Structure 1
Amino acid sequence: MSTASQPASGSGRIFVFVGGLCGAAGVALSAAAAHLGGAFVGTVASFLLMHAPVFLAIGLVGANRILRAASLILLVGLVLFCSDLLARDLLNSRLFPLSAPIGGTLLIAGWLAIAASTLVRARS
């Protein structure tokens, strides 16, 4: 069976699931931003929609340990960043002090780690 037709397994399934959730939440929040407004809801929707394909690709293609770790860093950063922005709009409060900057920093670190994962040679 070719790799393309094999279902994702283990951590791959989790990343596909996360990608699907990010995509669904991004679409729902895009609609909410269009109909209800909110200073940050549209930004959160954009971040979720732009990261959803990353998680899908990593889940479907497979990944080395560094790429999986990078994806987890990216996911934690995305959750912190988006949660803080949504809390500001919906609760008029922050998630916790510096949660958005920490999340943004983790997003940057996650993307750099994804780039670094290409520098690791596959074990033969």
Structure 2
Amino acid sequence: MHSDRFLLGAGGLAGAAGVVVAALATHAGGAHMQTASNFLLMTAPALLAIGLMATTRLLRFSGFVLLAGLILFAGDLLARDYLGDRLFPYAAPIGGTLLILGWLLVFISAFLRPQRG
């Protein structure tokens, strides 16, 4: 079984950020903070699991796609609340599309034979 420390660390960071953003949403408000927190907290366990398992290249790649989508989606929502503007046009929809793609890649990787090593 392979592991990916980067994805494992990213999962831990996403979980911590999700808790921080949830606390800020409760105490400071913000129209998009709770949604960003939810996505951080629901994607963190997936990144942890992928980081620990990484049984195929496709599964590992799916983790990076999920991470990129999470950064764009949650980052854009938080930028709207904190900066008053988007990261860039269509950042959230691109991030959301990457999240969907990442989850579909996880699904597909379930049917691939694990790599030995």
TM-score scaled by structure 2? Answer: 0.92
Q: Per-residue deviation at 1:13?
A: 1.1
Structure 2, gaps ≥5 residues long: none
Q: Per-residue deviation at 1:123?
A: 5.2
In 2: Cα distance, 1:95 partner to 1:19 partner? 22
In 1: Cα distance, 2:39 partner to 2:115 partner? 34
| Paired residues for 1:40-55 under 5 Å | 40-55=32-47
- Structure 2 counterpart of 1:69: 61
Structure 1, gaps ≥5 residues long: none
| Paired residues for 1:33-44 under 5 Å | 33-44=25-36
Residue 42 to residue 111, structure 1, CA distance change in 2 (3 Å): same
Residue 39 to residue 72, structure 1, CA distance change in 2 (3 Å): same
User: Could you tell me the percent identity over the aligned residues?
Assistant: 53
Asked whether 1:85 is paired with 2:77, we answer: yes
In 1: Cα distance, 2:49 partner to 2:88 partner? 31
How many residues are treated as equivalent by the alignment?
Answer: 116
Q: Which runs of 4+ in 1 moved over 4 A?
A: none
In 2: Cα distance, 1:36 partner to 1:55 partner? 28
Q: Per-residue deviation at 1:18?
A: 0.5
- Structure 2 counterpart of 1:29: 21
Q: Per-residue deviation at 1:54?
A: 0.7
In 1: Cα distance, 2:27 partner to 2:115 partner? 51
